[in-house]
C-alpha cells in the first residue's frame, strides 16, 4: 500500500491530527468552566454566613494576605495574622445572635477571571447604606482544591445611583 491513495490518506490523517493538536488547548480551555471556582466561593460565603470557623479557615491558604475594609488598616499576612482579624470580625457579627445564619452575604456583579491555576473573583456587596462594598478574592488551585491567597475588602461612598 505504498501508492498515491495510501499517501493521500496518510497525509489527510496527519493533517487532522495536527489540527486537533492545535485546537485541543483552545477547546479544553473553553470547556473549563468557572463552576469549581464558584463552588469554592459559595462554600466560603456559606461558612462566613454561618460563622463556621473551621470551614471558613479551611478556605484560606496558610500564607494568604488580607486587607480588611475598616478598623484594621494594616495588611494581615499569614494565617496567625488574618485569623486574629477574622476572629474579631466573627465576634462582632455574632453579637448576641444564637444561631446561624448570622449574616447574608449576597455578591453582586460577580466576575471571575482565570489564569491557569489562579482565579480572581470581584464583586460588590450592599451591606451598608451609602457605601458600595467591593471585594477581590484571589484563589489558587492546589491539591486540596481552590484556596484563598488574598482577600481585599474596600468600600467607597456612593451618592444616589449605583455604577
- pLDDT tens-digit readout, 65-96: 999 988 888 999 999 999 999 999 999 999 99
Place of cell 499517501: 7
- Say what the pLDDT of residue 1 is: 54
> Percent of the chain beyond pLDDT 70?
78
Q: What is the dihedral of CA 85, 88, 89, 91, to 10 degrees?
A: 160
Among residues 130, 84, 83, 135, which one has the least CA distance to residue 105? Answer: 135
User: Is the pLDDT at 143 greater than 80, yes or no?
Assistant: yes
What distance in Å separates the CA atoms of residue 42 and residue 145, rounded to the nearest whole number? 13
Q: Identify the band that residue 158 occupies on the pLDDT scale cut at 50, 70 and 90.
A: confident
- Say what the pLDDT of residue 161 is: 53
- Say what the pLDDT of residue 131 is: 87
CATH topology of domain 32-157: Nuclear Transport Factor 2; Chain: A, (3.10.450)
Least confident interval from 25-39, 42-56, 148-162: 25-39
- pLDDT, average across residues 35-56: 97
From the CB of residue 76, how many other CB atoms can be counted at a distance below 10 Å? 19
Q: Where are the domains of the chain?
A: 32-157
- Say what the pLDDT of residue 130 is: 86
Amino acid at each position: 500500500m505504498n501508492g498515491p491513495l495510501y499517501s493521500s490518506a496518510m497525509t489527510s490523517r496527519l493533517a487532522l491530527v495536527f489540527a486537533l493538536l492545535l485546537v485541543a488547548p483552545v477547546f479544553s480551555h473553553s470547556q473549563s468552566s468557572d463552576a469549581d471556582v464558584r463552588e469554592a466561593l459559595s462554600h466560603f460565603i456559606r461558612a462566613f454566613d454561618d460563622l463556621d470557623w473551621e470551614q471558613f479557615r479551611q478556605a484560606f491558604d496558610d500564607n494568604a494576605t488580607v486587607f480588611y475594609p475598616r478598623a484594621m488598616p494594616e495588611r494581615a499576612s499569614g494565617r496567625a495574622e488574618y485569623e486574629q482579624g477574622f476572629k474579631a470580625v466573627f465576634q462582632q457579627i455574632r453579637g448576641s445572635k444564637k444561631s446561624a445564619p448570622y449574616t447574608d452575604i449576597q455578591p453582586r456583579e460577580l466576575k471571575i477571571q482565570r489564569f491557569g491555576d489562579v482565579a480572581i473573583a470581584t464583586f460588590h456587596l450592599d451591606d451598608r447604606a451609602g457605601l458600595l462594598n467591593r471585594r477581590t478574592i484571589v484563589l489558587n488551585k492546589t491539591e486540596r482544591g481552590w484556596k484563598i491567597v488574598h482577600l481585599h475588602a474596600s468600600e467607597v461612598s456612593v451618592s444616589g445611583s449605583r455604577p
